[in-house]
Amino acid sequence: MSLPVARIAVAAATYSFDRPFDYLIPDEFVGRVRPGCRVTVPFGRGNRPSEGAVLAVGDGSQREILKPIACVMDSEPVLSERQLKLALFMRERFFCTVYDAIKAMLPAGLWFDNRGNRRVKDKTVEIARLCVSSEEGLRIAQAKRLRSPRQAELLELLCSFEALPVRDLLNHTGATRAVFNALKKAELVETFEREVFRRPVLSNVERQEIPVLNAEQQKAFTALSALAVSGQASAALLLGVTGSGKTSVYVHLIAQQLSLGKGVILLVPEIALTPQMLHTFTSYFGDEIAVLHSSLSPGERYDEWKRIRSGQARLVIGTRSAIFAPIGELGLVIIDEEQEESYKSENNPRYHARDVAKYLCAKSNCLLLLGSATPDIATRYYAEIGRYHFFRLDQRYNEQALPAVRIVDMKRELRRGNTGDLSSLLCEELRENIRRGEQSILFLNRRGAHKLISCGDCGFTYKCPRCSVSLTYHSSNRRLMCHYCGHVQWVDAACPECGGTLKYLGTGTQNVEAQLNELFPGVPVLRMDTDTVAPAGSHEILFDRFRKEKIPIMVGTQMVTKGLNFENVTLVGVLSADQSLYSGDYRAGERTFSLITQVVGRSGRGTKPGRAVIQTFTPENQTILQAAEQDYDAFYHSEIELRRLQNAPPICDMLSITCTGMDEDQVRKGIHSIRHWLEEALSDQRGVSVLGPAPLPVVKVNNHFRYRVNIVCQANAEIRRLLSQIIIECGSDKRFKGVSVFADSDPIDS
């Protein structure tokens, strides 16, 4: 007789020997061990306990001796069949273990501590209700009025309501717990526990009708709607200029899917955009919305997950990890600002939300909609060759013209004696906006006061002791900080090596704020960066202040560049347009164009015309000129030709293998060995190039050195298996002692 066996993905299994392991299901667990449940199993020679996820249940195994499952941790499956298959897909696609993929899908509150207790418990409240009829309760209350008025008041209140929380009941009547217990002892009332959800605080928003679409929006919606209800998997790009009303098209598509009883996932790139999106969509869909992002408490995230899983919330809005929301019947996935790199995880598993969305939509036969004013070059290319459907919104919703943009040559400003970070033209425009009572946004993608501090005599600069970067000076607390590892130290009064005078070089948002306060005394300035968001509590608080208090100027980093809609903002200034242009990454031009275009698009979104000023040391640069003209098509055509010359994505795929470790020599030897293996294995493959090894742009982070080899090819299962095999061999090769090795698809240099 064959015994019941479970195939389990074990948490303790490293990538080198990750596979499903067979375990015997003891008699007491038969029926309780189901696919999607988590269990505890003995693992390895020492039989140390490890968590595991049940992938399948069957009879018999090829192994004669099996270890038994020690404990079943879930009373019902926490993973659906679709999610289990997704975990297997992620293992093959993103070079991670199955259990790593499963951990990415589940909220932290669902995991267990070392003693086997769930980290976040279900929240319940004690509810009171009558044990007698309302008529009988009122009669008894009348009889008790003289002898026990508090008991009478409790009974009368319960007679008016079916059930009430005990705490609210006591607070409203002023009765003590002893008074309530007397009623309970007399069997006039009873209590029970009711589960409540910890919800993120949402502002009270009045429900409103779904917005009316203009002709251009209606045309796009009609075509997208047909794809969404076709019952076939498809992907589409919606390219809309800033302010064209892509969100209104999203609303109509979501309403359609909800009316069909299906669920929708809407992804946004940053937490800063979530409050504004929530406000908009709550006004249309109310409590059908759930929100998932990293700023929620573990309890809130866990309860939102439960609401989605139970079907109480069918519209999920969130950042990258919201793609794993356990929606039952998926009808639509929307990725807004789809070009953003924040959709790519830089930690294991190194997935891209867009790739996961493609898989889910393919398996659910539904539509994936990618929306942006500046789509990823690869996305636009796939639309051009017909892999994606393609739709456009070329006019702003309010028919307002795009902002008038002027470029300032900062070399000329220097020759005129202006050594500040604000050009004379931008100062004049700011002064005019202040006079009119209109608002302005200034964008500089560098926080702190100064990029570095250097000695003018000996050339000394402050370096991070753990990373290969200069420390950034923060004037608010006169401290130097590393933005990679968090190292902090005080700045000296003079050069610590020669005693010379220290010079403060390269500006940041703190310094710009100080210059604005000096130029416009008494004019409020709001700074929006990581240093101000954390003390304030959230992005939403600062954005609300900017909107409600009509603060004249907001200066900020990348978080002010996209998705924001302030009707009174009529001026945008880009202070250092060249900053990301010469990073050496093949995406540098795309990144720069997107940032400038997006932030310029924040201007003139209401009834007033918008203006923008772009400050640059290279005013003749083609990318900056195209961004100033908001001409995405021209930029795309020039960029895709450059990618063809470089043989860079999307013309080819790019995979990478990275070595990290604390001994730089060991890391370099390891990456050279990997290069040699790749060259040997791929020598007969046409159209495959191995590039490197080379250090990452920041070679050392937190005392770990990082070197990488890139493989440019048409990625297929065979090449992915080769990379997987190399990682596995490195795990058992003594030459890689102390060196971590991982692979990645379409890596981001950082």
pLDDT mean over 375-387: 95
Please give the Cα distance from 604 to 443 (Å, whole number): 16
pLDDT mean over 653-678: 93
Closest residue by Cα to residue 265 from 232, 226, 304, 231: 304
SS3 label, residue 235? strand
**Is the CA virtual torsion 639, 644, 647, 650 positive or negative?**
positive
pLDDT at 282: 85
Which strand (E) or helix (H) includes residue 510? Answer: helix 509-519
650 upstream amide cis, omega within 30 of 0 = yes
Domains 215-393 and 404-447+508-643 share a fold: yes
- 588-597 tens-digit pLDDT: 889 999 989 8
pLDDT beyond 70 at 204:
no
- According to CATH, the topology of domain 4-106 is GIY-YIG endonuclease (3.40.1440)
Please compute, for residue 728, the number of CA atoms within 13 A of its CA located in the half-sphere on the CB side.
15
Closest residue by Cα to residue 592 from 623, 571, 626, 633: 623
Query: Tokens 């608080």 map to which residue?
Result: 541
Is the domain defined by 653-745 classed in CATH 3.30.70.600? yes
pLDDT beyond 80 at 390:
yes
pLDDT band at 127 (very low <50, low <70, confident <90, very high): confident
User: Looking at per-residue confidence, does 513 or 112 come out higher?
Assistant: 513
pLDDT at 665: 93
- 553-574 tens-digit pLDDT: 999 888 777 767 788 999 999 9
Beta pairing class for 488-490 and 704-713: unpaired
User: Looking at per-residue confidence, does 223 or 171 come out higher?
Assistant: 223
* One-letter amino acid of 458: C
pLDDT band at 1 (very low <50, low <70, confident <90, very high): very low
Judge whether 151 and 143 are in contact, CB under 8 Å.
Answer: no
Domain boundaries, the chain: 4-106, 124-195, 215-393, 404-447+508-643, 653-745
pLDDT mean over 577-583: 79
Cβ count near 593 (within 10 Å): 26
pLDDT at 459: 83
| b/e sequence 411-432, b meaning 16+ C-beta within 10 Å | eebeeeeeeebbbeebbebbee
- 33-55 tens-digit pLDDT: 999 999 999 998 889 999 999 99
How does the average pLDDT of the chain come out, rounded? 88
- According to CATH, the topology of domain 215-393 is Rossmann fold (3.40.50)
**Which residues in 221-356 belong to E strands, given as ranges?**
234-240, 263-267, 289-292, 315-318, 330-336
- Strand-pairing partners, residue 502, are 455
- 697-750 tens-digit pLDDT: 889 999 999 999 999 998 888 999 999 999 998 888 888 888 999 999 988 875
User: Looking at per-residue confidence, does 373 or 243 come out higher?
Assistant: 373
- 253-291 tens-digit pLDDT: 999 999 999 999 999 988 776 777 787 888 888 888 898
- 103-119 tens-digit pLDDT: 999 988 887 777 767 77
Which strand (E) or helix (H) includes residue 71? Answer: strand 71-72
In CATH, the number for domain 404-447+508-643 is 3.40.50.300
Burial of 687 (0-12, 13-18, 19+ CB in 10 A): exposed
Please give the Cα distance from 578 to 118 (Å, whole number): 50
pLDDT mean over 387-397: 90
What is the value of pTM for the model shown?
A: 0.88
Please compute, for residue 438, the number of CA atoms within 13 A of its CA located in the half-sphere on the CB side.
23
**Is the CA virtual torsion 731, 733, 735, 737 positive or negative?**
positive
